[in-house]
Structure 1
Amino acid sequence: MSYWLDSTGDPPLAPPPSPLPDADVVVLGAGIAGITTAYLLKQAGLTVTLIEAGDRLAAGVTGHTTAKVSSQHGAIYASLTSGFGADTARAYGAGQQLAIDWIETEAAAVGGEADWSRRDSYVFAERSSSVDDLHREAEAAAAAGLPASFTTETGLPFEVAGAVRFTGQAQFHPRRWLLELATRIPGDGGTVVTGTRAVGLTEGDPCVVTTTAGEIRARHVVVATHYPVFDRGLFFARLEPRRDLVVAGYTDDGAGLPAGMYISSEDRHSVRTTPAEDGRTLLIVGGEPHRVGARTSVARHYVQLAAWARERLGLEQPAYRWLAHDLTTVDSVPYIGRFHPRSRNVWVATGFGHWGMTNGTLAGLLLRDLVTGVENPLTGVFDPQRVTVRQSAAEFVKANAYVASRFLGDRVDALVARRGVDSLPPGAGRVVTDGARAIAAYRDDEGGLQCVSARCTHLGCLVVFNDAERTWDCPCHASRFGTDGRVLAGPAVRPLPAVAPPA
């Protein structure tokens, strides 16, 4: 479990009415984008129904972040400037700064505890060969109007060759902040529904959303479900699912720990601290990036990350570990806008690239304006049909070539590796074949065997066992399932069906 989930409870929400009420806007997904959007639209005077498939709000991707609230998203501004021009880089940075300032202003207005604090942010490198790239990034970011400069002083307890520093960035407790907003949505035309999954959408005027609790009609629908449910707009072909791992542990007083927020431009190791309730300091360390469903041991990656945290930062005993799972677009700019070119009242927010605290907040601000018809000069940069997506053809081809290789290659591998389940130890899972069937077999700690179909219910790719989280993960489009087949994350909306064990 992540620290953000462990350190917060759940607000007492009134049971939703039955049947679910029609609304001006239905928002699907109660992460940072969905909650912020629903909150802002209610403030704008619209009736809003917020629907979350899980039982807890802000407990998915948002509840598994490192919670840096920064316009410094790795070394992005040099690549945006060289690839798409200075205006794109400037607009991207302006959107992130807008999100930071809005959170701070709104938090002061609504009150509540969010552990908000301003911190400097750093992208650092340890190799001298990376310094020229850091200089270019600092220059591009400064030209985009951001508080950026090159420095060799970071406060990290190990030697670095250089860094790009952004001053006046921030960090917070994301779940405390979002629960504060969520409790202000119900009543006066606002409804929050958990444990309810959207499984269908008919576009029109009104739109009809089919859920596991019945149908809802709405003038507008916002799809903020991390990976967009419903295969429209070809988002499954324009997003790459990536994950970083996180370990976190306590120190007595934080003495000697760095005061800023840090991420490596070379291997994505990240570092920050946060005060805990008992006066101790929690050190949060991220790293070990890889694609969801890659042929790799996630458990081994956790071991390697914990070793790095111990050697570099003295973190002897992690108290928490979690997955930071997100989606990256082909041009590294989120998709925020119309769900597909012909849609008139269905909207989407996705592809935050591990920087969802500002991108998710910005999504809420832009979607409020799009739904209410307010002109916003930033909407074009984040439009899912923007020109820069078409200019990124090479990334599009590369991402889909990987999916095609997994779709076909995994079937060949499964047919060749005809190992059975008798040798499967407790706590382990394996995809096995039985004739034409591909079976995801898991043996629990008591020795019981659970078997479900190994074909993802989204587009039929074969799932892979995640040995750290004990889940079945789809390598093509990042759907995740429990060992019993239940959907943990989309784009799949149907569970893996139970099947008979192999003969």
Structure 2
Amino acid sequence: MDSQSSPIEEHTMQQGPTFSRSLWVDTVEPSRYPRMTRDNLVDTAIIGAGMAGLNLALLLLQSGQRVAVIDMREVGSGVTANTTAKITALHGQLYTDITRRFGREAAALHGEANQNAIAQYEAVIKRYSIDCDFSHAPAWTVSNREEDMAALAAEADAARQSGLPASFSRDTGLPFGVSGGVRAENQARFHPLKYLLGIARELAGREVKIFENTRALEIRPGQPADVITDRGLLRAKHVVLATNIPFHRSSEFFLRVVQSRSYVLAYPVEPGFIPDAMYYQTRQPFRSLRLQTSGDRTWLLVGGEKHHSGQVTDTEACYARLAEWARETMGLENPVYRWSTHDQFPLDRLPYVGPVSRGQKNILAVTGFGGWGMSQSMVAAHLLRDLIYGVKNSLSRTYAVGRLKLSDLGPVAGQNLHKVRRLVSDRLSSPKTQAKDLEPSHGGLTKLDGSTVAAFRDEQGELHAVSRVCTHIGCVVQWNNAERSWDCPCHGSRFDIDGRVLHGPAVKDLQKKKS
């Protein structure tokens, strides 16, 4: 598919994208792994067939373990399918912050591990001959504000002291006004789904069990632990939640992360349209740029418009603002693809990797990549492997799930208070719109037979009505007009127009309503 235009591409090149679909999804053949059909006993069960889950599965396979990976949809269909796929250790203005919070040693551990992740990806790609458009490129953190230059120069010093090949420069090569930034050499990018599907083929060919369309509903702790799914029982000595946000003991994580969405547009451009590098513009509104060569086409990926998940209903406006910026700064018109992604931002800037609690050490989780999941998923996979085998790893304490102190809760007190207010006020509110009055291609909270429901009317006039109450903790979902989904403003769960779970932590669908 790489060398030819797909049907969606031919349509959108003329009319513009009419729904969200990533370049990555449209340039691979979908995976087809079976559902789980019977109970299974393995050494390690991994929930989530994304980058962190399959990288870990490969490491455990190499160590001789019996492994099963389950996903409620398909391999790579979650966050991995919607990333910008930068494999970089330069994570915005991170190193000055974590040096201040944790000290120079912790910053160096983080920097070294993420820089090593690039070489580890390259080694896997070469060993298993995975054709995934991997290439090296410098990464930049830039700003268009002169007052930011001193802080970026300090970030370059902190990054360099943390083991990155980093420097400060005023010459970014960008064709629009940027004052300067941090440049890190020897970073990388790739096609994430080509990589992941290549890993999946290798795993399945060596008797790792991969089960798609198999939803984990509950984890019952024990030795071994039981994963209750909608397809049977999966029993394992160790269970790893690699689901972007863990559903098991979810309260352990929601005090420690903030859920965020951001948006990407993909434009066909000529090679050399911008320098062959990856850019991240700090401060709001943040911007992200990177080139991607796929077959005989070159694409420019333009990202930005970050906001708290479920708390913006007019997401079409997010795409519109991003497109306007691309047009004004670079003269770009008519994006072919558009998509959005879902990230967990940890309070102290470092991911959470390890046992979910002291009493459940054989149940592990990974979350909080803060938008830098490609490098950090590889780092997490190596740490999880060591934790499973009881091997000492210097990152285990730095990334520990329970490292947050009560004194650190201040930054999220307002966020959590907002969630409580939404939980109460949204349940009490009553919309005036009647479901019968919804226009085609429109959705929202409406009245249906005297009750408030979440309703969408499709282009054929059919009404899709579901419960407005998220199945996680009971917040009221909000309509996402660009993605055509119901999004929870409290913890970021997402559902399609018929109520099926698209994104956790919810594991149960919204109840359908008779229309």
- What is the TM-score with the length of structure 1 in the denominator? 0.94
2-structure distance, mates of 1:256, 1:49: 44
Q: Which residue of 2 aligns with 1:329?
A: 346
Residue 391 of structure 1: how far off its partner (Å):
5.1
Instruction: Answer yes or no: is the 8 Å Cα contact 1:428–1:444 preserved in 2.
Output: yes
Residue 389 of structure 1: how far off its partner (Å):
5.2
1-structure distance, mates of 2:242, 2:369: 11
Instruction: Answer yes or no: is the 8 Å Cα contact 1:331–1:389 preserved in 2.
Output: no
How large is the RMSD of aligned CA atoms in angstroms? 1.7
1-structure distance, mates of 2:508, 2:151: 45
Residue 213 of structure 1: how far off its partner (Å):
0.8
Instruction: Answer yes or no: is the 8 Å Cα contact 1:155–1:259 preserved in 2.
Output: no
Q: 1:8 aligns with which of 28, 37, 47?
A: 28
Residue 262 of structure 1 pairs with residue 282 of structure 2: no
How many percent identity over aligned positions? Answer: 38
Alignment of 1:204-243 (within 5 A): 204-232=222-250, 234-243=252-261
Q: Which residue of 2 aligns with 1:485?
A: 499
1:336-391 CA deviation, whole Å, 9 max, x = no partner?
A: 000122112110011111111011111111111111122111221111112x5555
Q: Which residue of 2 aligns with 1:495?
A: 509
2-structure distance, mates of 1:473, 1:433: 19
1-structure distance, mates of 2:122, 2:374: 12
Instruction: Answer yes or no: is the 8 Å Cα contact 1:232–1:339 preserved in 2.
Output: no
Instruction: Answer yes or no: is the 8 Å Cα contact 1:237–1:399 preserved in 2.
Output: no
Paired positions, count: 494
Alignment of 1:10-409 (within 5 A): 10-11=30-31, 13=33, 15=34, 18-54=37-73, 56-186=74-204, 189-232=207-250, 234-251=252-269, 253-266=270-283, 267-277=285-295, 279-386=296-403, 388=404, 390=406, 392-409=408-425
Q: Which residue of 2 aligns with 1:439?
A: 453
Aligned partner of 1:490: which letter?
A: G
Point out where structure 2 has 5 or more consecutive residues left out of the alignment.
1-20
1:90-134 CA deviation, whole Å, 9 max, x = no partner?
A: 222122112112111221111120111111111111111221221
Aligned partner of 1:314: which letter?
A: G
1:128-152 CA deviation, whole Å, 9 max, x = no partner?
A: 1221221221122122222121111
- What is the TM-score with the length of structure 2 in the denominator? 0.92
Aligned partner of 2:183: which letter?
A: R
Alignment of 1:405-424 (within 5 A): 405-412=421-428, 414-415=429-430, 417-424=431-438
2-structure distance, mates of 1:382, 1:101: 21
Secondary structure of 1:361's counterpart equals: helix
Residue 45 of structure 1: how far off its partner (Å):
0.5
- Segments ≥4 residues shifted beyond 4 Å: 388-391, 433-437
1-structure distance, mates of 2:481, 2:35: 37
Q: Which residue of 2 aligns with 1:449?
A: 463
Distance 1:389 1:146, change over 3 A: farther
1-structure distance, mates of 2:502, 2:369: 19
Residue 437 of structure 1: how far off its partner (Å):
4.3
Residue 428 of structure 1 pairs with residue 442 of structure 2: yes
2-structure distance, mates of 1:452, 1:143: 53
Instruction: Answer yes or no: is the 8 Å Cα contact 1:11–1:183 preserved in 2.
Output: no
